[in-house]
Amino acid sequence: MKNIYGNRQLLDILAGMAASGRTAHSLLICGEKGSGRKLIAKYYTQALMCEAPDKGRPCGACVSCVNIEKGIHPDVIYPEKSGKLGNYSVTAARDVIADAYVRPNNSSGCKVYIFADCHNVDLRTQNALLKLIEEPPDYAYFIFTSGSKSEFLPTIISRCVCFNTALCTEDEAVQALAESGYEQSAVKAAVSCFHGNIGMCESYINDEELRKRVDLTKSLADSIIRKDEYALNAGLFALGKEREDVREVLTMLDKLMRDAAVLEKDVNADTIGCSREGAERLSRALTAYQSARIHSCIERAWNAVESNVNIPLALTALGAEIMEIVG
Ligand SMILES: [Zn+2]
């Protein structure tokens, strides 16, 4: 089984639950994208369904563990995201409800539903799932992974055992990526962008599109430093119309603004964004107050995109607001 870095305590709690038989039927795992939410969901599922628990629970080697790892276990179900905003629709919830009353067909006697990357989950979907989560069949388990608890209704949260993932240290990330066989130079570049977030580091190495979005983020920061309205708007326009892409770049830009504000107070502070060098230049070009105001604008633009405002329109407004702030 692949070594999981970080979150050791959380993994031990989950394995302990499975071993004692006092298992939580509904789990909510929150944390940054790339911080291992899905790995942890799989780990708990393996611990529940492992066929050789005496070899360490989960053993990582039995048919069950291997199939869960590969995502092909017939009783581990990933409901489809068929909603309009790429979210879980009420139809998906109804399918799960119908399926949850069909007994599993494996030696562990468990059936696990993993709702990965929950975001913008329809209230009707949540309400539909509520009763099932409240009184699940004894073999059924539900795991939700998400960026934040706030994505869910309090009624759902109160029925889940909630955990937060933590990011690894940069050293752990370097070690984990080296173990996965990545080249040293690629690892170094990835960790300088995404620090202890192993999932994002791995995407950075493998996904050219993500590398382009990182470059785009850096060039947006650059345009802000140069107060170049034309370049800023061209950059925002180049973001395209894919909600997830827009979200990713705005999140990265926001982290740079955060870093710039922090660095203005303390040049040796740790940074969390994709370019320390970019953040340093931002911190010299802007006051912490300006950085904070840009942060608010980015948040507003993101909320507009989330609530289905036309994306180019929201981004044009963002460009104008930023230019007004840096004036
Ligand atoms: Zn196993």
* pLDDT tens by residue, 245-294: 999 999 999 999 999 999 999 999 999 999 999 999 999 999 999 999 99
My answer on whether 183 and 64 are in the same domain is: no
What is the Å distance from ligand 1's center to 46 Cα? 6
Q: Look at residue 244 in the predicted model and tell me its pLDDT.
A: 86
Integer CA distances (angstroms), 82 to 11, 93, 143, in order: 31, 10, 18
What is the Å distance from ligand 1's center to 282 Cα? 50
What is the Å distance from ligand 1's center to 5 Cα? 19
What is the Å distance from ligand 1's center to 22 Cα? 19
My answer on whether 149 and 266 are in the same domain is: no
What is the Å distance from ligand 1's center to 58 Cα? 5
CATH code for position 223: 1.20.272.10
- For 243-283, give the DSSP string: HHHHHHHHHHHHHHHHHHHHHHH-TT----SS-HHHHHHHH
My answer on whether 130 and 152 are in the same domain is: yes
E strand map for 46-96: 76-77
Q: Tell me the average pLDDT across 147-158.
A: 94
What is the Å distance from ligand 1's center to 77 Cα? 18
What is the Å distance from ligand 1's center to 64 Cα? 6
Tell me the per-residue pLDDT of 186-220, one tens digit each, with 9 for 90 and over. 999 999 999 999 999 999 999 999 999 999 999 99
Cα(322)–Cα(194) distance, integer angstroms = 25
My answer on whether 94 and 214 are in the same domain is: no
Confidence of residue 61 (pLDDT cuts 50, 70, 90): very high
My answer on whether 200 and 91 are in the same domain is: no
What is the Å distance from ligand 1's center to 81 Cα? 29
Q: Look at residue 2 in the predicted model and tell me its pLDDT.
A: 67
CA nearest 33: which of 212, 171, 165?
165
Q: Is residue 3 part of a domain?
A: no
Q: Look at the chain and report how many structural domains it folds into.
A: 3
Q: Look at residue 291 in the predicted model and tell me its pLDDT.
A: 94
Q: Look at residue 82 in the predicted model and tell me its pLDDT.
A: 86
Cα(92)–Cα(115) distance, integer angstroms = 10
Count the helices and strands in the chain (H runs, E runs): 15, 5
Cα(106)–Cα(56) distance, integer angstroms = 19
What is the Å distance from ligand 1's center to 139 Cα? 18
Cα(195)–Cα(193) distance, integer angstroms = 6
* The amino acid at 34: G
* 0.85 surpassed by pTM: yes
What average pLDDT is seen over the chain?
94
Enclosing domain of residue 17: 8-164
Residue 164 scores a pLDDT above 90: yes
Q: Tell me the average pLDDT across 225-248.
A: 93
Q: Is the peptide bond before 58 cis (omega within 30 degrees of 0)?
A: yes
What is the Å distance from ligand 1's center to 37 Cα? 20
Q: Look at residue 1 in the predicted model and tell me its pLDDT.
A: 62
Q: Is residue 74 part of a domain?
A: yes
CB atoms within 10 A of CB 22: 8
What is the Å distance from ligand 1's center to 13 Cα? 17
What is the Å distance from ligand 1's center to 3 Cα? 15
Cα(47)–Cα(27) distance, integer angstroms = 14
What is the Å distance from ligand 1's center to 51 Cα? 5
Q: Look at residue 88 in the predicted model and tell me its pLDDT.
A: 93
Q: Tell me the average pLDDT across 156-176.
A: 94
Cα(258)–Cα(252) distance, integer angstroms = 10
